[in-house]
Amino acid sequence: MSAKPVAKGDAIELNLETMTVEQGLELIEKERVQPLLAYLRTGKFENKTNMTFMKAYSVVVQFGDQQQHSFKLYSYYKKVISDYCKDAMAQLQPLAGEDLLNALAQLWEKNTILVFWMQRVFQYLDRFFTKSSTEYPELFKAAVQAFSEHVFSKLKARCVDAMVAQVNRERDGTDIDQDVMRRLVEMLCTVGDTGPKVVKQKDGADKNAADRLVWQSQARGVYKTDFESKLLTTSSEYYRSKVAGWTAAYSCPQFLLEIQRRLDDEESRLSRYLDSTSEKELKTVVQKELILNTAKGLVEMSTGAQAMLTNRRYDELKLMYRIFKREPTMLPHIITAMEPYIETRARGVVEDPQMIDSPAAYTEKVLELKKEVDDMVASCFESDTGFQKGRNRGLEAVLNKDTRCAKYLALFCDLQLKKGLKGRNEDEVQTLVNQVVSLFAHLKDKDIFLDIYKSALSRRLLNKLSVSNDAEDCFITKLKVECGQQSIQKLASMFTDMALSDQLQEEYMKNAHHGSPGGVVHEVRVLQTNAWPEKADDVPIIPCPEMTTCITAYEAFYNSKHNGRKLRWIYNMGSVELKCHGMARPHLLVVSAYQCLCLVLFNQRQQVSLREICEATKLPEEECRRQVTSLTVSRHKVLLHDATGKDLGSETKLQVNDKFTNEKIKVAVSLIKKEEKAETTALAEAPVERKHVIDAAIVRIMKSRNKLEHNSLLDEVFRQCTLFKPQPAQIKSQIEHLIEREFLKRDDANRSIYLYLP
């Protein structure tokens, strides 16, 4: 069988055996290259060739194995492309600007088609000839080199300038031919590349989409060096001059909108025709001009951040934030404007004279403001941590000037739990608790809040004033999260006491007397000594016989349950219902235990003097006068007196007002206010307690460390005191105090080091 390859065609018979390389090339020239060049000139195949790819390829394979023939094939390949480029160049030479770009893009496209077809026919050369040679690059690369030599290198500067000018024209709003730009960018990425390649791709996902020839480059050719650098400097200049114009013409919001529009525009340009590798560099340059160089000025404009905050232009603030976020180092400019704004707003509430004496109104306003700024930080600034910190600084600077906020917040809680929350559903309670606790987190005097909260809580629990146990629980749980188990322990144990007392009371009612020894129904609360703020009476009060019966009965019951525990009775917290018969009609008087002791004296005598009351009950005179006077005021004139004016003297005689009447049968007698002493003692109390807290902290720290330097000790103490911010001077004096009491001593060698004395 013969091994002679003979290709059969429809029209042309090839006999490769007898053909010379010149004949072969002539055939390719005539049958493939000429029709192709004609197609590129006219856009259609004039004389449709009958020569198949197979035949042309066979010719190349036939001669491609022999070095001297391969070179001829290679030279021919290069010549076809070079000649095509040279011819085209003659027409491009006189052109400039947009015309040049259009013509060049068109040439690039046609050259691509030519190279694609030629490479396919001659690709056998890449198998051996170009591979084993350092002198002759691969077919694609050789083609690009020809284009570069005859076209690109002669037009480079003109082309790049025209392209950059086109970009600027588009920035100014002119429509430009993006397809041309896309092709030229491809050209820049290909020319000078180390391994360019043409591939055929579908233009879209559709099956019927047109095929498109695209170049793939390895290192983006000369795009970066020759084009991108020029584009970057031009962009920088362009925006610098624009910004200068806008500064004079625009208000801050207009300016921001313009920046946003420009940034979007640049981004879309990257995806439309620039190479994606330019993204980082171009963004850096553009943002430098548009954001870095403008941010501070924008914030400080008269229509800037301050005005937006004051006029609550949240959309504009949001826009400003979103733009500045691209350059995060610029965000502090907004924060610097926001902080004093929040301070001013807070001062507006804190210094409002109308609310100085109204805890409820004050706290409501503060909570409202807190919610407003929280919402603002969330919606405008995406709850950015920097902004949250700024907000906290702003609020805390004003609210923590004195302890009023802590006190009023605690009082506000009391009011809410006594009245405000009545009839609210669970969600509303939750919302309020969350608001209160989030404000609480800002306070530096947390201990003062907790003190007042505690005494209010004890009053609510003992007098059953609380509207909802769930709400109470809710507060305690949230506070625990905020300041830790330890600080809340006492509050929590108050609830335990209440629950235990309820149980005890239930059992007590099951006794033979059914909880009413001597015919007096009574209820007892047993409280742990240290958990509650209540203090027992300083002086031994003498209870009336009826009370004594109850006390004896309960103590007997209690001792049968818990051996060895001693109950101390706190009369001043008790309240009594008295049935009164000697009046216009029978009344039930709800009075304090002290008042009860006073009133029962009138069971024996018609007239009693104040001094006699004091002697019989052992009440301190001051307190006794207050209790009795409360019974003589015009609102509840239970007792009549013979003093002139309102003030009772110690010899003033009192007697029951037998004409006393009230529309209700049950009358609650309210006590007149104690003199102002109470306020001041409460205030003084907290600092005393703080001393102990600091002492305890110092001792705890020194016990574990044994030896510590002064400043590190201060740091540790600051870290441990979470409920308030101790003053360094205060810590110092406590250290001195502890040295005096021989818990610590100074190191002999270094005076600033303390040693723990076990």
Partner 1 sequence: AVALEHSDLERHQVDMMRQQRRLWVEGRFCDVALRSRDGKEHRAHASVLCAASTFFDSLLGGSFLEADQVQLGQPVEVAASDATVHALLEYIYGGQPEVPWEDSIELLRLADAYHLPALAAAA
Give contact residues for partner 1 (rule: CB under 8 A).
1, 3, 5-9, 49-54, 57-58, 61, 116-117, 120, 123-124, 127, 200, 211
If the CB atoms of residues 7 and 467 are measured against partner 1, the closer one turns out to be 7
Q: How far apart are CA 267 and CA 284, in angstroms?
A: 12
Nearest distance in Å: CB 117, partner 1: 6
Nearest distance, CB of residue 108 and partner 1, angstroms: 18
Q: Is the dihedral of CA 697, 699, 700, 705 positive or negative?
A: positive
Quick check: helix, strand or coil at residue 10?
coil
How far apart are CB 40 and partner 1 at their closest, in Å? 13
> Of 211 and 663, which has the nearer Cβ to partner 1?
211
Closest approach of Cβ 61 to partner 1, in Å? 4
Tell me how far the alpha carbon of residue 308 is from its chain's centroid. Answer: 20
Cβ at position 433, least distance to partner 1 in Å: 40
Closest approach of partner 1 to the CB of residue 190, in Å: 20
Minimum separation from the CB atom of position 148 to partner 1 (A):
25
Q: Extract the tokens encoding 616.
A: 């019989």
Residue 254 — left, alpha, or beta (φ > 0 → left; ψ -120 to 50 → alpha)?
Answer: alpha
Say if strands 639-641 and 587-592 run parallel, antiparallel, or are unpaired: unpaired
Quick one: 116 or 558, whose CB is closer to partner 1? 116
Minimum CB distance to partner 1 smaller for 6 or for 378: 6
Write down the least CB distance from residue 144 to partner 1, Å. Answer: 19
> Pseudo-torsion of CA 625, 628, 630, 636, nearest 10°?
-160
Neighbours of 320 (CB within 10 A): 30
DSSP-H helix ranges across 43-152: 53-64, 67-92, 97-122, 139-147
How many Å apart are CA 275 and CA 32, to the nearest integer?
35
Distances (CA, A) of 355 to 341, 367, 432, 715: 21, 14, 20, 37
Nearest Cα residue to 76 out of 146, 148, 150: 146
Cβ atoms 158, 175 nearer than 8 A: no
Contacts of 303 (CB under 8 A, 6+ apart): 251, 252, 253
Nearer to partner 1 by C-beta: 7 or 413? 7
Q: Which is nearer to partner 1, 50 or 229 (CB)?
A: 50
Q: How far is the CB of 54 from partner 1 (least distance, A)?
A: 6
Question: In degrees rounded to 5, what are phi and psi of residue 591?
Answer: -135, 170
| Alpha carbon distance 188, 164 (integer Å) | 13
Give the separation between CA 115 and CA 198, rounded to whole angstroms: 8
Q: For residues 179 and 102, what is the distance between their CA atoms, to the nearest angstrom?
A: 9
Going edge to edge, which strands form the sheet with 653-656?
Answer: 607-609, 653-656, 639-641
567 in Cβ contact with 526 (< 8 Å): yes
Q: How far apart are CA 368 and CA 363, in angstroms?
A: 8
To partner 1, the closest distance from the beta carbon of 42 in angstroms equals 17
Closer CB to partner 1, 120 or 561, in the complex: 120
| Nearer to partner 1 (CB atom), residue 116 or residue 250 | 116
**Closest distance to partner 1 from the beta carbon of 3 (Å):** 5
The residue (of 70 and 549) whose beta carbon lies closer to partner 1 is: 70
Give residue 531's Cα distance to chain centre. 38
Closer by beta carbon to partner 1, 50 or else 241: 50
Which residue's CB is nearer to partner 1, number 77 or number 124?
124
Task: Output the smallest distance, CB 155 to partner 1, in A.
Answer: 29
CA 358 → CA 342, 403, 412, 414, 686, distances in Å?
Answer: 22, 15, 9, 13, 22
Judge contact between 65 and 128, C-beta under 8 A.
yes
* Inter-CA distances, 195 with 78, 144, 182, 189, Å: 17, 10, 20, 11
Quick one: 30 or 666, whose CB is closer to partner 1? Answer: 30
Nearer to partner 1, 23 or 750 (CB): 23
Residue 208 has φ and ψ, to the nearest 5°, of -95, 5
Nearest-approach distance from CB 136 to partner 1, in angstroms: 19
Which is closer to partner 1, CB of 61 or CB of 95?
61
* Closest separation in Å from C-beta 182 to partner 1: 22
Helix 97-122, helix 178-190: angle, nearest 10: 50
Q: How far is the CB of 122 from partner 1 (least distance, A)?
A: 10
Provide the b/e sequence for 367-393 (b: ≥16 CB within 10 Å). Answer: bebbeebbebbeebbeebeebeebbbe
C-beta of 201 vs 431, nearer to partner 1: 201
